[in-house]
Amino acid sequence: MRFDNENQNIAWCPGCGNFAILNALKQALEETDYANTQTVIVSGIGQAAKTPQYLKANCFNGLHGRTLPPATGIKASNKDLKVIATSGDGDIYGEGGNHFIHAIRRNPDITLLVFNNMVYGLTKGQASPTSKSDLINSAQPHGSASEPFNPIAVAIAQDISFVARTFCQNVEFTKNIILEALNHKGFSLVDILTPCVTFNKINTYKWFADNTYYLQDHDTSDRIKAFEAAINTEKMALGVFFKQDKVTFEENEANKQKTPLYKNQVNFEKLRELIDRHI
């Protein structure tokens, strides 16, 4: 497999759903014509953010909550790169929540995969933005006091280009959704439900199976129907909620560059003059 990094020991707990997501992502990438050298996997901090280390591609691992800014910058610097962001629900929807909202507004051609286990797994199980109110742990012994964040509803409200949700246990379905997101031009969000077998004893594989359903005969161009499915509190829908064609960040006239940034030549003489004027 072109993207299989056989030299890495995976540091996730046995039984973690992240293994299934990694396999689905590898399979999806293998069905594309992307070269390893033209693919960049970007992440922040967290268990899910370790993913780029386990793939044979270019990698950028940044700060907690700061996954999307470098991903956007990388794509803006070289629009020919395929940029994929992978991180957890805490990193993207918590610390990186503001970046998440504005990335949707800008619509860079980036695929964002969020490993949503409804808990902070790296820091021993604190409630994350997507945690249910009945999640009890050492940090929240009486449960979470906050309502869970609904990333799908927020994304649709922000008029996102592509948004979907999957459950990691169905690897084939997850692979197909990831592949569709990769092939979509524009900012694409795939929220992937995955159990944290060590720190989240409520949202287990069985819980996710019992509390999800697959969208059937759903019109992905109908934003209102997509929003109705997103705010369903009884069960969480799986599948593509909404997609549309939009001008990307790179295509926007204000951001067009005659020459890609990485090919621009630096005029050191003018740079020195500029620095000297402001010293």
Q: What is the pLDDT of residue 123?
A: 77
Domain-located, residue 247? yes
Of the candidates 72, 92, 234, 91, the one whose C-alpha atom is nearest the C-alpha of residue 155 is 92
Cα three-residue angle 245-187-101, rounded to 5 degrees: 115
Whether 156 is covered by a domain: the verdict is yes
Q: What does each of the 279 residues of the chain score in pLDDT, given as a tens digit?
A: 688 777 778 889 999 999 999 999 999 999 999 999 999 999 999 888 999 999 999 999 988 889 999 999 999 989 999 999 999 999 999 999 999 999 999 999 999 999 999 988 777 778 788 888 777 776 777 777 778 899 999 999 999 999 999 999 999 999 999 999 999 999 999 999 999 999 888 889 999 999 999 999 999 999 999 999 999 888 999 999 999 999 999 988 666 666 777 777 788 888 888 898 877
pLDDT at residue 3, as a whole number: 84
Structural domain contains residue 242: yes
Asked if 223 and 39 count as a contact pair (C-beta separation under 8 A), the reply is no
75 exposed, middle or buried (CB, 10 Å; 0-12, 13-18, 19+)? buried
Q: Which domain holds residue 143?
A: 18-277
Total of domains in the chain: 1
What CATH number is given to the structural domain containing 31?
A: 3.40.50.970
Q: Assess if residue 9 is contained within a domain.
A: no
Residue 231: per-residue pLDDT? 95
Proportion of the chain in helix, strand, coil states, percent, rounded to 5: 35, 20, 45
Q: Is 146 part of a structural domain of the chain?
A: yes
Secondary structure (3-state) at 143: coil
Bridge partners of 43, per DSSP, are 61
Whether 3 is covered by a domain: the verdict is no
Query: Does 117 reside within a domain?
Result: yes
Return the pLDDT at 200.
86
Do the domain assignments include residue 12? no
